Amino acid sequence: MPFARPPYRCDYTIVPVRAEQRPAQSQLQDQQGISRRLHINRLLAEERFDRYFNTEFDYKITPDNNNEIKIADDVLQMDLNQGYPENIEKEAIFRGGKLYDKKKHSYEWTAEHVYVDIVWHFS
């Protein structure tokens, strides 16, 4: 069975252009563009590394006997992990060296475990 002809007509031909056929100015601009993109990629990679090398996600914390969560001195930031339904209706902040729930106005955490995203300070 013969192949069906496409419904459109192509009146032009694509001719590949070699790098040495282009003007030197164009080649220089291409090299500068590539160099700029590589530099940006390196900066982004460093930023991602700096942001996450001391971060732990889904870190499990257990409240003490008083149902309070004490925060260690080497913690820079702690946020409730919003991937857990029990954390969605809570708003946690640091207060007095403990984790405080602003919505309940309490230091008490009744869950057996609390899952947080935590950023550690490494010296």
Tell me, what's the pLDDT at 10? 52
Structural domain containing residue 75: 55-120
pLDDT tens-digit profile of 93-121?
Answer: 999 999 999 999 999 999 999 999 998 88
Tell me, what's the pLDDT at 34? 80
Residue of 85, 83, 102, 104 whose CA lies nearest to 94: 102
Does residue 95 belong to any structural domain of this protein?
yes
Query: Average model confidence (pLDDT) for the chain?
Result: 80
Q: pTM of the predicted model, to two decimals?
A: 0.57
68 plus 91 within the same structural domain: yes
Rg of the Cα atoms in the chain: 28
d(CA 71, CA 7): 69
48 plus 105 within the same structural domain: no
Does residue 2 belong to any structural domain of this protein?
no
Does residue 1 belong to any structural domain of this protein?
no
Tell me, what's the pLDDT at 100? 95
pLDDT tens-digit profile of 46-63?
Answer: 666 556 778 899 999 999
59 plus 74 within the same structural domain: yes
Please tell me the total count of domains within the chain: 2
47 plus 101 within the same structural domain: no
75 plus 32 within the same structural domain: no
